């Protein structure tokens, strides 16, 4: 009987319990370390968020403080500018209204009276006219500004309409003509007012004069 040689292999070495336990412990250690790092990162993030919130709150307070201070300064400036404008307005009225009616003598109006005029309805002022020139045939409301603007012209046109209503209400049917005056009057504003049929008075030396008019100028009558 022939003999057969058979070589037996050694079975592969398996993972022992000790190896598995060591691997589990290492994994647990790594997880614990990762958890610690995440907590530290979370704490740092929370600290940064809290610091950013604190800075934002402080910045907001500073901005609010600056806004309040700015508002106070603007209010003071507005009052000062308003006071200056009022002073300039009164100064312009005094200069321009002095002997104002005489400026229109050469145009044949011969006004004999000039007064400051306020139209009241009850206790409420409907309109106020800086100067009201009049004679037996005409009444002329005059608006006086330190710096005349197109808006001033438009408002004066409305004002003349209100004066017309009041005069009609008391049976005064004299004709109304209008005029505007300013210490500073740009050419564009002058032409605009004249196109609306208003006389324009401008500064001339220490007094005022009636601004030059086109030959086609026609004073509007109300």
pLDDT digits (tens, 9 = 90+) for 72-103: 666 655 454 444 444 444 545 565 666 677 78
Residue 29's pLDDT is what? 81
Residue 171's pLDDT is what? 92
Residue 9 token pair: 């292999």
Q: State the virtual CA torsion across 95, 99, 100, 106 in degrees, nearest 10.
A: -140
Contact (CB, 8 A) for 182 and 204: no
> 2 phi and psi, to 5 degrees?
-80, 140
Flag whether 206 is in a domain: yes
Q: Helix or strand or coil: residue 10?
A: coil
List of residues 6+ apart from 36 with CB closer than 8 A: none
Residue 38 token pair: 């995440």
Quick one: DSSP state of residue 205?
T
Which of 36, 61, 89 terminates a domain? The answer is 89
Higher pLDDT, 201 or 84: 201
DSSP for 40-57, written as a single string: HHHHHHHHHHHHHHHHHH
* Domain ranges, residue 180: 98-210
Residue 178's pLDDT is what? 95
21 and 120 share one domain? no
44 and 132 share one domain? no
Kindly indicate the confidence band of residue 180, based on its pLDDT and cuts at 50, 70 and 90. Answer: very high
Q: Helix or strand or coil: residue 32?
A: helix
Q: What is the mean pLDDT of the chain?
A: 77
| Segment 200-212 mean pLDDT | 83
pTM of the entire predicted model: 0.57
CATH number at residue 163: 3.40.1350.10
61 and 149 share one domain? no
Spacing of C-alpha 22 from chain mean position = 77
> 118 phi and psi, to 5 degrees?
-130, 125
Which of 66, 89, 112 terminates a domain? The answer is 89
Q: What is the Cα–Cα distance from 117 to 178, expressed in whole angstroms?
A: 14
104 and 180 share one domain? yes
| Segment 156-165 mean pLDDT | 92
> Angle CA(31)–CA(32)–CA(38) in degrees, nearest 5?
85
Burial (Cβ within 10 Å: 0-12, 13-18, ≥19) of residue 144: buried
Contact (CB, 8 A) for 142 and 188: no
Query: How many structural domains are present in the chain?
Result: 2
């Amino acid at each position: 009987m022939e003999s057969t040689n058979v070589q037996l292999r050694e079975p592969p070495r398996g993972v022992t319990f000790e190896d598995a336990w060591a691997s589990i412990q290492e994994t647990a250690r790594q997880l614990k370390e990762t958890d610690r790092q995440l907590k530290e990162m979370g704490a740092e993030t929370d600290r940064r968020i809290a610091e950013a919130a604190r800075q934002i709150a402080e910045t907001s307070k500073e901005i609010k403080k600056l806004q309040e201070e700015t508002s106070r300064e603007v209010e003071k400036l507005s009052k000062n500018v308003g006071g200056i404008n009022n002073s300039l307005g009164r100064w312009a009225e005094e200069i321009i209204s002095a002997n104002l009616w005489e400026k229109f003598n050469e145009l044949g109006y011969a006004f004999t009276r000039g007064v400051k005029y306020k139209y009241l309805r009850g206790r409420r002022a409907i309109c106020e006219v800086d100067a009201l020139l009049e004679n037996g045939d005409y009444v002329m409301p005059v608006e006086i500004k330190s710096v005349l603007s197109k808006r001033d012209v438009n408002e004066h046109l409305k004002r003349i309409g209100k004066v017309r209503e009041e005069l009609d209400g008391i049976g005064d049917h004299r004709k109304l003509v209008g005029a505007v005056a300013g210490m500073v009057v740009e050419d564009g504003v002058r032409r605009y007012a004249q196109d609306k049929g208003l006389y324009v008075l401008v500064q001339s030396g220490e007094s005022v004069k009636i601004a030059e008019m086109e030959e086609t100028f026609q004073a509007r009558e109300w």
